[in-house]
Amino acid sequence: MNKAELINAIAEGAGLSKADAKKALDATIKAVSNALVAGDKVSLVGFGTFSVSERTARQGINPKTKQAITIEAKKVAKFKAGAELAAAVN
């Protein structure tokens, strides 16, 4: 499912116009992104939790040249599915 299909599903499921569903989805994505940038967790009970994790610097290998390289430390967004979502998928 891509973003356009998700907007259509939201519009149909909530009885909204596609324009309103797009605004709602964009606002939700922006709110989650802003919370993660601020270092907060976003927990949606029954769906899952979005959080930020820090990866430490580590050694790697450049597959093209086979030389050792240092991979910089960075922050990454994580999602952990909630119990209800995990049960629904299985």
Of the chain, the percentage scoring pLDDT greater than 90 comes to 99
pLDDT value for 30: 97
pLDDT value for 83: 94
Give the residue-averaged pLDDT of 15-41.
Answer: 96
CA dist 25 and 4 (Å) reads 10
pLDDT value for 60: 95
pTM: 0.79
Q: In terms of domains, do 35 and 45 share one?
A: no
Q: In terms of domains, do 52 and 34 share one?
A: no
Q: In terms of domains, do 79 and 67 share one?
A: yes
CA dist 41 and 35 (Å) reads 7
Q: In terms of domains, do 62 and 84 share one?
A: yes
Q: In terms of domains, do 33 and 55 share one?
A: no
Q: Checking DSSP bridges between strand 74-81 and strand 68-71, what pairing results, if any?
A: unpaired
pLDDT digits (tens, 9 = 90+) for 41-59: 999 999 999 999 999 999 9
